């Protein structure tokens, strides 16, 4: 059996009981490590699951899935996914490959950003199409997301915008030359995301993403509880000026010896008006 198991959004304890049983019974357990981010290190998962984990990067999952599927028709193999297994098309693809090889499959679901976004107070029923925002380059600025956002807005629906992460990615030059040299990991910040949204608005000029009147809510570490997750709301122009470091500053305030002094320094250094 090939199990594809959702891990939830925070730490090693978010796995379901059914998922944990499947992990413990598996001969090999792979941890998909590039479509999303877990808030704990691999070693903590291994200690809690009492199982060694094999890191599965993009190449392994997308191009060398035969390694994962090897003998999965004779023994249990698990692929662990942050959030829910169907949060990325990659996992649907490996299911189809398994079925083509007559490998039995089972999906064990968990919480994902698709439902946990309700933590910001917006009703899930009022969300329209979800879009992804990728890192722009000088020559590549895909803007099809804008049409989806506008369609949602015209129907008075919210849009969930998923921000890009780059893990084990190659530069265009290294990719063209076939060199297995990878760029450092990158995670899109809220200000960068809003900057890109406004860049496309300046080209389209429909008002769907008006800097001063479009309201947005920025979320990070969703699912981690009040001590981890951060939620900031404002107009796009306010969020674009909200320092990336502010999310870290606000989170770290929990541990400050003198919280009032911490807030004062945060306001002076980062322009953060902490609640």
Which residue numbers belong to the known binding site? 9, 84, 87, 112-113, 163, 222
Look at residue 3 and give its three-state secondary structure.
strand
CA atoms in the 13 A half-sphere facing the CB of 175: 7
Per-residue DSSP letter, 86: G
Whole-Å CA distances, 104 to 17, 65, 76, 77, 258: 21, 15, 10, 10, 56
Residues of each annotated binding site for S-adenosyl-L-methionine: 9, 84, 87, 112-113, 163, 222
Q: What is the C-alpha to C-alpha distance for residues 105 and 85, in angstroms, rounded to an integer?
A: 12
One DSSP character per residue, 110-179 reads: ---HHHHGGGGS--GGGB---EEEPPP-SS----HHHHHHHHHHHTT-B--EEEPEESSPPPHHHHHHT-
Query: Nearest to residue 78, comparing CAs of 96, 101, 54, 60?
Result: 54
Q: What is the C-alpha to C-alpha distance for residues 185 and 26, in angstroms, rounded to an integer?
A: 30
**139-172: burial string, b at 16+ Cβ within 10 Å, e else:** eeeeeebbebbbebbeeeebbbbbbebbbebbee
| CA 170 centroid distance within chain | 20
**Tokens in use for 54?**
């094999």
């Amino acid at each position: 059996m090939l199990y594809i198991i959702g891990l939830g959004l925070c730490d090693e304890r978010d796995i379901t009981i059914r998922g944990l049983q499947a992990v413990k019974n598996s001969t090999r357990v792979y941890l998909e490590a590039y479509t999303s981010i877990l808030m704990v290190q691999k070693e903590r998962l291994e200690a809690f699951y009492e199982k060694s984990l094999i890191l599965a990067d993009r190449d392994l999952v997308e191009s060398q899935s035969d390694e994962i599927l090897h003998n999965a028709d004779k023994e249990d193999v698990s692929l662990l996914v942050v959030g829910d297994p169907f949060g990325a098309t990659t996992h649907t693809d490996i299911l189809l490959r398994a079925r083509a090889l007559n490998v039995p499959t089972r999906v064990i679901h968990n919480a994902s950003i698709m439902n946990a976004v309700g933590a910001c107070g917006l009703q899930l029923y009022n969300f329209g199409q979800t879009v992804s925002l990728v890192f722009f380059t000088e020559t590549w600025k895909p803007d099809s997301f804008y049409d989806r956002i506008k369609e949602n807005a015209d129907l008075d629906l919210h849009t969930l915008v998923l921000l890009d992460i780059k893990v084990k990615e190659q530069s265009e030059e290294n990719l063209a030359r076939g060199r297995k040299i990878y760029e450092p990991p990158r995670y899109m910040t809220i200000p960068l995301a809003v900057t890109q949204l406004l860049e496309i608005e300046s080209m389209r000029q429909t008002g769907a993403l008006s800097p001063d009147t479009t309201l947005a809510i920025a979320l990070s570490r969703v699912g981690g509880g009040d001590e981890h997750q951060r939620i900031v709301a404002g107009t796009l122009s306010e969020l674009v000026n909200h320092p990336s470091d502010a999310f870290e500053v606000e989170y770290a305030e929990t541990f400050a010896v003198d919280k009032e002094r911490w807030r004062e320094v945060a306001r002076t250094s980062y322009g953060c008006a902490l609640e």
